[in-house]
Chains A and B, each alone.
Chain A
Amino acid sequence: MDRNLASFIVRRVIQIPPLLLGISVLTFLIFYFSPVDPVVAYLGLITVQKMPPEDLAKVETQLGLDQPVQVRYLAWLGKILQGDWGFSYINKRPVMDVILERFPATLILTLTGYGLSAILAVLLGLASALRAGSRLDASLNGLSYLLYSMPTFLVALLAMLVFSAWLGWLPSSRMVSVDVPESFMPYVLDRIRHLILPACVLAVSHMAAFYAYFRSSLQESMNEDYVLTARAKGLAERDIILRHALRNSLLPFITQIGLIIPFLIGGSVVVESIFAWPGIGKLAYDAALRADYMLLMGLTLFTSLLVILGNLLADVAYALVDPRVKYG
């Protein structure tokens, strides 16, 4: 690894701890200033209502609610750093355990969905670039514009209406059937059948942004001097696009994948709650509906961490690919 790249990465990583500190303060303050009773947030409303007042007072002292803000913040931060992210009362388990348990389901769904989305976008982008200005190009542009104005949940509802209700081809909820098949192959097939609809909804509803990004990145490459040279040499337009422009526009496209994590989580909240997919998006939705604040705090921190890592990854990948960045 050359020295410039190493120093770039170091400079970039140094920015992270203050940001993390900022996020922890933000999270703490939102919940500190909210009208939520911390004892309720910790134990759940029903438990608190059944408790005798002297027990409540004891819990309050235990939680350190009689301490000043900064002391409470530091105590909370200390616990967070030690991996004690509080207790989720709707799940009756530690927050960290619940999040880590649910995360793989989200990974499966979003990786499939966004992978499909990116591949489709590149193929369609190429198709429209090969026939730039044609009717195909115009209608693909129109379609991507329409999809961009269409909320994900609407795509999901329409897909469910057509493929589950009318055609009855695919299941509309959960990750596996209630009566899970025992043997291996039927089990896998069952999982895949449940994955198709939510993954395709994610793919279709986020394709517009991918398509537009790739198409404009391809367009930019097409204006470069080397394309002019290739044209002057008499290369066919097809070869110019596939051999020259594609490579140079695909690379930035791939490196920027890390930046989509906020969209990925937003999408998973919608799709998982509609299709009852047991991932962290559904978890966040349940936590919000039932006011499980410990869990919400945990999810805010966890997803922020993912976003920061994604940004770091994108920056480093970009620096690896484009040497100009490192010297900047």
Chain B
Amino acid sequence: MILRNAEMKARIMRLQQGGLLGIKQVTLGMIFIALLILLALLAPYLISYDPVQVSLDQPMQAPSFDHPFGTDHLGRDMFARVLYGTRVSLLVGICAAALTVSLGVLIGLLAGYFGGLVDSILMRLVDTIYSPPETILLMVLVTMFTRSVWTIILAIGLTHWMGTARLVRSEALSIRQRPFVESATSLGAGDGYILYRHIMPNLLYIAIVSVTLMTAHAILTESFLSFLGLGIPPHLPSWGNMLNEAQRDIMQGIWWTTMFPGMMIVITVLSINLLGEDLKKKLAPSRGTRIE
């Protein structure tokens, strides 16, 4: 927690220091994200190779004009696989982030607005789920259920909502005590109305920033689980799955099966993080709130 919060502050400082070739870093990041979404959508039209097509006569080909990223041990085209991997990563990243933040906002709102017993119970729940290390909890959850893209999304969602919940709770607590809420109450507004019209809009910035940063974290988490062989089912081309298979090539000194999917993860996560930091700076300039 502390490490992450401090990280954010340091990153803001860093962001203020220019970029590359006169273009701001965040602009570069956004261009890359746009490109990535386009690639994910257009993947079938861009390449002639099938990402799951096995060609046993062409295993372990180094990058060439024909196969720009080379081929893997089953002769599958790495470029096609990396491109299709974009779909899995973005799907998991965005859905898991949406689930995480929805859960976090919902629970944080309930705890912060109603306070009292509801608050104590929900916050003890947050403390409890925070105790086992994230990695262990994730590993336990994914082994419990049949593996699919959706169970991975669910597992990431269930293990990451607590940060947002704490943040939303403390914001909701402070907004609830503001005069405009008091005046709405005295005019006879119900809880639902106040939550919807007064509290929620003031929390929107937390949700937007959290979704962005969480997308990056979810992509990392998915790749990590898949890399361990505990994530996306192995027949789907995801970056983590590719790296899992690349492990066998490493000791033979083969670099392309590791380098290309790895590079995609790093650039994607970096771009989304840059965007998230920029959004935070713009949406919450003076609040000094720590958003995870």
Q: Using a CB–CB distance below 8 Å, which chain A residues touch chain B? A: 18-19, 22-23, 25-27, 30-31, 34-36, 138, 141-142, 144-146, 148-154, 157-158, 160-161, 164-166, 172, 208-210, 212-213, 215-217, 219, 256, 259-263, 265-266, 269-270, 273-274, 284-285, 288-289, 291, 293, 296, 299-300, 303-304, 307-308
Contact with A along B226-255 (1 / 0, CB 8 A): 011110000000000001001100111101
Instruction: Provide the bound-state CA to CA distance between A307 and B136, in Å.
Output: 12
Q: Which residues of B contact A161 (CB under 8 A)?
A: 250, 253, 255, 258
Task: Tell me the complex Cα distance, A260–B4, Å.
Answer: 11
Please give, as numbers and ranges, the residues of chain B lying within 8 Å of A154 by CB-CB distance.
243, 258, 262, 265-266
Q: Is the pair A19, B136 in contact by a Cβ cutoff of 8 Å?
A: no
- Residue ID in chain A nearest B273 by CB atoms: A149
The 10 A-B residue pairs whose C-beta atoms are closest, nearest first, are A22-B128, A266-B135, A212-B10, A262-B133, A213-B6, A34-B144, A149-B270, A149-B269, A265-B133, A288-B139
Contact B139 A296 (CB under 8 A): yes
B142 at the interface (CB under 8 A from A): yes
**Residues of the A chain whose Cβ atoms lie less than 8 Å from the Cβ of B10:** 141, 144, 212-213, 215-216, 219
Q: Is B131 an interface residue (CB 8 A)?
A: yes
The answer to whether B243 touches A219, judged by C-beta atoms less than 8 angstroms apart, is no
A274→B247 contact, CB < 8 A: yes
A22 touches B124 (CB 8 A): yes
The 8 Å CB contact of A285, one of B139, B247, B273, is B139
- In whole angstroms, how far apart are the Cα atoms of A31 and B140 in the complex? 9
- Candidates A26, A210, A212, A285; contact of B129 at CB < 8 Å: A26
Decide if A145 touches B11 in the complex (CB within 8 Å): yes
A83 to B41, CA, bound (A): 54
With contact pairs A154-B266, A157-B243, A161-B255 given, residues A300 and B6 touching in the complex (Cβ less than 8 Å): no
- 28 A-B pairs whose Cβ atoms sit less than 8 Å apart in the complex: A19-B131, A22-B125, A27-B132, A142-B14, A145-B270, A149-B220, A149-B270, A153-B227, A153-B228, A153-B243, A157-B243, A157-B246, A158-B258, A161-B255, A165-B251, A209-B4, A209-B7, A213-B2, A213-B7, A213-B10, A219-B13, A256-B2, A266-B135, A284-B136, A285-B139, A285-B228, A300-B137, A303-B133
Give the distance in Å from the alpha carbon of A297 to the alpha carbon of B196 in the complex: 41
Chain A residue numbers with a CB within 8 Å of B14 are: 141-142, 145
A-B contact count (CB 8 A): 171
Contacts of B3 in A (CB 8 A): 209-210, 212-213, 256, 259-260, 263
Inside 8 A of A18's CB, which chain B residues have their CB? Answer: 124
- Evaluate contact between A26 and B2: CB separation under 8 angstroms: no
**B207 shortest CB reach to chain A, Å:** 23
Query: Which residues of the partner chain B approach A145 to less than 8 Å between Cβ atoms?
Result: 11, 14, 270, 273
Q: Find out whether the CB atom of B134 lies under 8 angstroms from the CB atom of A266.
A: yes
Contacts of A212 in B (CB 8 A): 3, 6-7, 10-11
Set of chain A residues within 8 Å of B246, measured between Cβ atoms: 157
CA distance A36 to B146 in the complex (A): 11
> CA A291 – CA B140 in complex, angstroms?
9
**Is B212 interfacial (CB 8 A cutoff)?**
no
Q: Which B residues are CB-close (under 8 A) to A304? A: 131-133
Residue of B nearest to A33 (CB): B144
Complex: how many Å from CA A268 to CA B208?
Answer: 32
16 further contact pairs, Cβ within 8 A, besides A148-B273, A154-B258, A157-B250: A19-B128, A22-B125, A22-B127, A154-B265, A157-B247, A208-B7, A213-B6, A213-B7, A256-B3, A259-B2, A263-B133, A269-B135, A284-B139, A288-B142, A300-B132, A303-B133
Residues of chain B within 8 A of A288, CB atoms compared: 139-140, 142-143, 228, 230
Complex Cα distance A130/B112, Å?
43
**For B45, what are the chain A residues with a Cβ–Cβ distance below 8 Å?**
none
Of all chain A residues, which has the CB nearest B227? Answer: A153
Q: Contacts A161-B255, A165-B252 given; indicate if A296 touches B143 (C-beta within 8 A).
A: yes
Q: Which residues of A contact B134 (CB under 8 A)?
A: 262, 266
Residue B88 is within 8 A (CB to CB) of chain A in the complex: no
B224 at the interface (CB under 8 A from A): yes
- Contact between A146 and B266 (Cβ–Cβ < 8 Å)? yes
